[in-house]
């Protein structure tokens, strides 16, 4: 590979690294953000979910805009928006402001990522180097996934959670400079391209309503009229989505693609593999901090069995695809992930870190064998000229279902942990009002509201409350992983249904 191309690939890897650290790194900040804004997990989960949703829904449009107006131009715009929103995250005066800034970050990342891949695939080097270049770009983003929690741990231990977003500013600035200086301008653009803004908007609003309903369900009451109306509107929008897709010129999901059985199966395989990994990335660090009493940095190191496997696996699985075939890889991957999620439920709390260690390793191994192969299988299920569209769609459903999984798991976790806390406090003879129980539910005792509750208690009662909270958190996390186990196990069935012979003989 020529020296000029090597420099460009390094620049693209830095951009990918910046995207990678932002996603996993923000997960480690959840307890610190709870403390800073006196919030609970049902609210702080939006720091993850809103980013994933807007990243997912922008990505297809970002790729299309790059084709229409130039990948360099759209990439610079996305990096500028990502940099600006990172500064907003750094100065956020409230949780709502932070969530809004994270939404902007997701839009910026959704413009940057498809254009980064486009540069790697078409503009950096010769045809024979493309596979190597794409592998290096993926290595950049997965390395960011590994180092993101480490950076979070360092900034929380030695400063403030806000400093994490300065790392975003640094990497976005470097990426903007290298893009301006190194990446050539596009000389040709695709004519006649159209973006399905109607479909994206409808789907985004439907998912947002669903996520919001899961967030406020415990507060409003699960059978309350406003909440049921919210879920009804969300369901109606989901049902309207395919009708709208039939009317737009270039829909996200082409009707002929959705008539393709193998494509539908591979799209499902791209969805369900994310449930255990996303829920684990959210709750494993909290378990280590809230139950085991570890620092953020120690929790980041403790998360390594999952993050390192996710990083290494995305590269290794590509080499296994042709040797073993997608059906075998996906079946065993989903099986490992299902066993891993189930192990979290059945392993006793007394084991401490070793309660979650086998599950982390198996979930990481399962993701290794499913994330890459499911995306490749989806691309193989359609015509070559639709590979870019399907690549974006597969990652879109991956992230959207990940956000939905986290919201569902968090709603379950909150309800179960609160019920467990009430029972244990009653058994221990500790009298706390319903409002006080909700204030401390979730295990974060350093928020202003939770600290005020604990100050009302004597030392003996405070010790009983801490024990009850740890057990309640564990019970809630276990039930969250019951949901993940069921979700991931669907992938086993889909993998068995996949017909490899038909997969590579698609006509539509």
pLDDT digit string, tens, across residues 342-359:
999 999 999 999 999 999
Q: CB-based contacts of 45: which residues, under 8 Å, 6+ apart?
A: 30, 215, 282, 406, 407, 410
pLDDT tens figures, 392-423? 777 788 888 988 898 899 999 999 999 999 99
Q: CB-based contacts of 499: which residues, under 8 Å, 6+ apart?
A: 261, 262
Instruction: Identify the DSSP state of 28.
Output: T
Is the pLDDT at 208 greater than 80, yes or no?
yes
What is the predicted pLDDT for the residue at 87? 95
Instruction: Identify the DSSP state of 381.
Output: T
Instruction: Identify the DSSP state of 93.
Output: S
Q: Are 450 and 439 in contact (CB under 8 A)?
A: yes
What is the predicted pLDDT for the residue at 201? 84
What is the predicted pLDDT for the residue at 279? 92
Q: Are 430 and 485 in contact (CB under 8 A)?
A: no
Pick from 391, 250, 371, 386: nearest CA to 321: 371
CA–CA distance, 68 with 91 (Å, rounded to integer): 35
How many angstroms separate the first and last alpha carbons of the chain? Answer: 37
Is the pLDDT at 386 greater than 90, yes or no?
no
Average pLDDT over residues 105-124: 80
Res. 127 pLDDT band, cuts 50 70 90: low
What is the predicted pLDDT for the residue at 306? 87
What is the predicted pLDDT for the residue at 459? 87
What is the predicted pLDDT for the residue at 101? 95
CA angle centred on 223, ends 218 and 226, rounded to 5°: 85
Query: What are 156's two structure tokens?
Result: 């929380």
Mean pLDDT lowest among 193-207, 295-309, 483-497: 193-207
CA–CA distance, 445 with 439 (Å, rounded to integer): 9
Q: Are 365 and 336 in contact (CB under 8 A)?
A: yes
pLDDT tens figures, 455-477? 888 888 889 988 999 999 999 99
What is the predicted pLDDT for the residue at 67? 74
What is the predicted pLDDT for the residue at 189? 57
Instruction: Identify the DSSP state of 294.
Output: -
Res. 124 pLDDT band, cuts 50 70 90: low
Is the pLDDT at 319 greater than 80, yes or no?
no
Q: Is the dihedral of CA 311, 315, 321, 323 positive or negative?
A: negative
Q: Who wins on pLDDT, 388 or 439? A: 439
Supply the mean pLDDT for the chain.
84
The burial of 194, by beta-carbon neighbours within 10 Å (0-12 exposed, 13-18 middle, 19 or more buried), is given as: exposed
Is the pLDDT at 507 greater than 50, yes or no?
no
Average pLDDT over residues 238-257: 78
Q: Are 175 and 13 in contact (CB under 8 A)?
A: no
pLDDT tens figures, 38-79? 887 778 888 888 898 888 888 877 877 887 788 888 889 999
- Compute the residue count for the chain: 508
What is the predicted pLDDT for the residue at 508? 47
What is the predicted pLDDT for the residue at 398? 83
Share of the chain above pLDDT 70, in %: 88
Pick from 80, 303, 71: nearest CA to 189: 71
Is the pLDDT at 387 greater than 90, yes or no?
no
Query: What are 452's two structure tokens?
Result: 């005020």
Share of the chain above pLDDT 90, in %: 28
Number of Cβ within a 10 Å radius of residue 463: 12
Pick from 77, 73, 76, 60: nearest CA to 114: 60
Q: What angle, 0 to 180 degrees and rounded to 10, lies between the N-to-C axes of helices 95-118 and 30-37?
A: 150
Average pLDDT over residues 372-382: 76
Is the pLDDT at 287 greater than 80, yes or no?
yes
Domains, the chain, in order of start with CATH, read: 1-183 (1.20.1250.20), 196-249 (no CATH), 261-508 (1.20.1250.20)
What is the predicted pLDDT for the residue at 416? 93
């Amino acid at each position: 590979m020529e020296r000029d191309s090597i420099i460009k690939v390094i620049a693209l890897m830095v951009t990918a690294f910046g995207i990678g650290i932002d996603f996993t790194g923000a997960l480690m900040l959840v307890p610190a953000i709870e403390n800073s804004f006196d919030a609970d997990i049902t609210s702080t989960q939006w720091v993850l979910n809103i980013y994933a949703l807007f990243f997912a829904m922008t990505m297809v449009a970002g790729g299309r805009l790059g084709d229409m107006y130039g990948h360099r131009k759209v990439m610079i715009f996305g990096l500028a928006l990502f940099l600006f929103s990172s500064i907003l995250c750094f100065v956020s005066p409230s949780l709502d402001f932070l969530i809004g800034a994270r939404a902007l970050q997701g839009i910026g990342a959704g413009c940057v990522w498809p254009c980064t891949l486009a540069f790697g695939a078409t503009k950096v080097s010769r045809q024979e180097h493309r596979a190597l270049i794409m592998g290096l770009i993926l290595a950049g983003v997965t390395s960011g996934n590994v180092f993101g929690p480490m950076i979070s741990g360092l900034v929380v231990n030695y400063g403030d959670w806000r400093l994490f977003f300065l790392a975003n500013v640094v990497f976005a600035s470097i990426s903007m400079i290298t893009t301006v200086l190194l990446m050539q301008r596009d000389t040709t653009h695709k004519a006649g391209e159209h973006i399905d803004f109607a479909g994206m908007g409808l789907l985004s609003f439907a998912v947002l309503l669903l996520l919001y309903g899961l967030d406020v369900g415990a507060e409003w009451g699960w059978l309350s009229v406003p909440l049921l109306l919210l879920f009804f509107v969300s369901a109606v929008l989901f049902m309207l989505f395919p009708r709208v897709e039939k009317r737009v010129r270039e829909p996200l999901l082409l009707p002929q693609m959705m008539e393709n059985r193998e494509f539908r199966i591979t799209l499902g395989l791209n969805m369900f593999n994310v449930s255990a990994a996303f829920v684990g990335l959210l709750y494993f660090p909290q378990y280590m901090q809230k139950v085991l009493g570890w620092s953020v940095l120690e929790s980041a190191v403790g998360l390594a069995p999952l993050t390192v496997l996710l990083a290494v696996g995305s590269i290794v699985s590509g080499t296994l695809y042709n040797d073993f075939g997608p059906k075998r890889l996906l079946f065993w991957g989903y099986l490992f992930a299902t066993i891993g999620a189930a192990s979290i439920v059945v392993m006793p709390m007394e084991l401490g870190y070793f309660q979650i260690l086998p599950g982390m390793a198996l979930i990481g191994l399962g993701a290794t064998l499913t994330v890459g192969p499911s995306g490749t299988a989806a691309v193989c299920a359609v015509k070559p000229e639709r590979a870019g569209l399907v690549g974006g769609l597969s990652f879109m459903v991956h992230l959207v279902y990940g956000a939905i999984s986290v919201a569902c798991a968090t709603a379950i976790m909150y309800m179960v942990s609160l019920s467990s806390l009430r029972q244990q406090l009653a058994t221990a003879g500790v009298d706390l009002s319903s409002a006080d129980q909700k204030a401390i539910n979730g295990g974060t005792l350093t928020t202003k509201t939770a600290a005020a509750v604990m100050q009302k208690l004597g030392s003996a009662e405070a010790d009983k409350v801490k024990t009850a909270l740890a057990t309640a958190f564990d019970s809630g996390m276990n039930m969250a992983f019951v949901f993940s186990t069921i979700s991931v196990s669907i992938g086993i069935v889909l993998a068995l249904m996949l017909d490899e012979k038909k997969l590579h003989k698609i006509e539509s």
